[in-house]
Structure 1
Amino acid sequence: MPRALYTDYPWADIELERAILAEANCELIVAPAEDEQTLAEYARDCQAILTCWAKVTAAVIDAAKDCRHIARTGIGLDNIDVPRASEHGMLVTNVPDYCVPEVVEHTLALLLGLARKIAFYHSETKSGIYNINAALPLERLEDQTVGIIGVGQIGSVFARKCAALGMRVLANNRSREVPECSQWRSLDDLLGQSDYVVLLCPLTPETANLMNADTLAKMKPTAFLINTSRGGLVDHAALARALELGQLAGAGLDVQVPEPPDLSQPPYNDRRVIVTPHAAFYSTRAVEELRTRVARQVVAVLQGRMPENIVNSHLLGGHSPA
């Protein structure tokens, strides 16, 4: 009987995945901890690994000598050593398009919340302070500029939503291919012109700590930073310092380093910062789709068929994964 290891998951149970994997007579086991040593031990005799946020490192991959497939229950791949998996001939898959509406909506919610100072006013009124002047100034959204860093599937949809609200949309990516509703700008120009800087790019060695002391200092003091992509894109200590110095007006953060962060420390305890618990991807529909598609990917590989969304497809060389 083949076995698959589930490294970690944020939902209540894994009965959905277990039922689908049973179609391939595959036993699904769960690691009791997410440290490298534990994952390596539990991966030793598994033919597949399903992972959400736990780090599937070179050591874990080296230990999993029978593994043919690592399935990421999500979009980003920064927690998987894809080159090492490729060296071992392991297919790596993800689900890059399952939660586009949810992330767009969450990002837009953070933007609107910051624009109208919703969280601040809510905090004030709940503590007994009913004062419109406490959060001024407030600006009309259609007079504002949003700068989007990373204009892939999610960034493109978000750009169109912002344009529909009457906002001026600037965009920055490597390809310089952006939606018609936006204008491509260099990173420095985007930072200097935007009232909202939105991070929707992947975490790579090139984008790690993209928002640091130098780049934050290039933002307008009235501007807001929004991150619904990966926590590692932001140097959070630098962000806390920039807020202290008044270099920007606030932030909306759905992703942090580490997760969960120490919420008693800046920037998380700053009243100008909205913090949500890595929830942008979540909806009932999105999570069911994600879990089902990942389990189907694993079954496909176990049965010698081609799974969807292979990120290291060069391994196939025109052949099936059997």
Structure 2
Amino acid sequence: MAQSKQEVLILSGLKCHHENEILNAEGLFNIKHISDPATLEKMQDEEYNQAVAILSDHLFKLDKKFLDRMPRLKVVIRMGVGFDNVDIKCAGSMGIAVLNVPDYGTEEVADSGVCLILNLYRQTFNLACRMRDGQVMGQQQIFEFAPSARRIRDKKLGLIGLGKIGLSLANKCRALGFIVQYFDPYIDAKRASEYKTQFDLTQSTKLPELLGESDCIVTLCPLTEETKHMINTERIKLMKDRAFIVNVSRGGLVDENALAVALKSGKIAGAALDVHECEPFVFANSPLKECDNIICTPHSAFYSQESVYELATKGCIQISLGLKGNTIDKLQNCVNSKYLCSEEVNKRWK
């Protein structure tokens, strides 16, 4: 007897060609694709009833209200590293496994971080925009429009978080001449010693120490209750005058209102944000809209042709591993395992 197909719900603003191709090749799944979060809100209950798996990007909020409407849901694959848009505790209490894809696009995000750092130090983007707008750029104009341009060698780069992306970015920036230090309370003394010996990276044991010593701060940690608005008015006061700030991790790490004040006052010489508190980001609606010394990109640091295919492949493999065997045991990178209720797991995965 032919096995009945199981429904997979893809929540993504992308067209998801790779995901469709991979899952259709299995011949075991019906695929429903929703590209707009507003459309998801309008779905009828019967349209929710059949989905046993979800592939979701960061723009869709999967909270208790949403999960309560998914009686057959077994697994959520957060197509990316962060999973702050999913209520992992609630999902666990309902027997729903939540997975992320932590090992894709590492080099892309690190490269994008380096690009943003370089643009702040060399003012390349700023000057290119002036020229494109028709500004004649003699030497006096260069001095006027790029007052923050600086030499990189021997400047101190402070990284908040040193996971795979942070380590990659650190090594690239050391090659440029930066002195790299980091704050990460989850790195123990043994590993810190190894990083010092192998990569010449210095650990700061306290965040205020890192902020006060660094010429450029880069946020590279997940968004949690602990890290939300970790770059705020009080923390900015601790930074060097005319320091730079770069964020390629999660928008909620930086209080954009506080950053706007610091940029306008000159306390912070410039900032580059790939991620924002409200996404999709609309510059005209942001407190940063009146800041000239800001670079904003649209949460694109992860993107390359290779990384998108890598992400789709790794996410879909998890769907197949779980659903074909109808078991939670083979799933990898489960971020809510400690919250999973075994009784509810047995009900959903029986």
The TM-score with structure 2 as length reference comes to 0.85
Q: What is the aligned-residue identity percentage? A: 34
Equivalent residue runs for 1:141-220 within 5 Å: 141-177=152-188, 178=192, 179-180=195-196, 181-185=200-204, 186-220=206-240
Q: Determine the C-alpha separation between the residues in 2 that align with 1:14 and 1:161.
A: 31
1:269: how far off?
4.5
Greater displacement, 225-234 / 299-308: 299-308
Residue 3 (str. 1) matches residue 23 (str. 2): no
Residue 57 (str. 1) matches residue 63 (str. 2): yes
Partner of 2:29: 26
Amino acid at match of 2:217: V
Q: How much is the aligned-residue C-alpha RMSD, in angstroms? A: 2.2
3-state SS of 1:142 partner: coil
Amino acid at match of 2:95: G
Aligned pairs, number:
319
Q: Determine the C-alpha separation between the residues in 1 that align with 2:167 and 2:44.
A: 39
Partner of 2:88: 82
Deviation readout 1:52-87 (Å, 9 max, x if unpaired):
021111111121110110011111010111111111
Residue 272 (str. 1) matches residue 293 (str. 2): yes
Partner of 1:133: 143
3-state SS of 1:288 partner: helix
2:334 is aligned, of 310, 313, 322, to: 310
Amino acid at match of 1:274: I
3-state SS of 1:21 partner: helix
Unmatched runs of 5 consecutive residues or more in structure 1: none
Q: Determine the C-alpha separation between the residues in 2 that align with 1:133 and 1:37.
A: 51
1:114: how far off?
0.3
Compared CA separation, residues 40 and 208, structure 1 to 2 (3 A): farther
Q: Determine the C-alpha separation between the residues in 2 that align with 1:32 and 1:273.
A: 30
Residue 289 (str. 1) matches residue 310 (str. 2): yes
Once superposed, which parts of structure 1, at least 4 consecutive aligned residues long, lie more than 4 Å away? 314-317, 319-322
Q: Determine the C-alpha separation between the residues in 1 that align with 2:154 and 2:104.
A: 32
1:194: how far off?
0.7
Q: Determine the C-alpha separation between the residues in 1 that align with 2:61 and 2:171.
A: 34
Unmatched runs of 5 consecutive residues or more in structure 2: none
1:10: how far off?
3.3
Q: Determine the C-alpha separation between the residues in 1 that align with 2:233 and 2:301.
A: 26
Q: Determine the C-alpha separation between the residues in 1 that align with 2:177 and 2:18.
A: 42
Q: Determine the C-alpha separation between the residues in 2 that align with 1:198 and 1:78.
A: 20
Partner of 1:48: 53
Deviation readout 1:131-176 (Å, 9 max, x if unpaired):
2212135322012100000111111111122222221111001124
Q: Which protein is bigger by CA-based radius of gyration? A: 2
Deviation readout 1:96-118 (Å, 9 max, x if unpaired):
01010000000000000000011
Q: Determine the C-alpha separation between the residues in 1 that align with 2:270 and 2:316.
A: 40
Contact residue 24 and residue 303 of structure 1 kept, 8 A:
no
Q: Determine the C-alpha separation between the residues in 1 that align with 2:268 and 2:308.
A: 34
**Higher helix fraction (1 or 2):** 2
3-state SS of 1:146 partner: strand
Q: Determine the C-alpha separation between the residues in 1 that align with 2:152 and 2:272.
A: 16
Contact residue 148 and residue 269 of structure 2 kept, 8 A:
no
Partner of 1:250: 270
Q: Determine the C-alpha separation between the residues in 2 that align with 1:312 and 1:32.
A: 25
Compared CA separation, residues 104 and 194, structure 1 to 2 (3 A): same
1:124: how far off?
2.4
Amino acid at match of 1:44: N
Q: Determine the C-alpha separation between the residues in 1 that align with 2:43 and 2:244.
A: 39
1:311: how far off?
2.0
3-state SS of 1:270 partner: coil
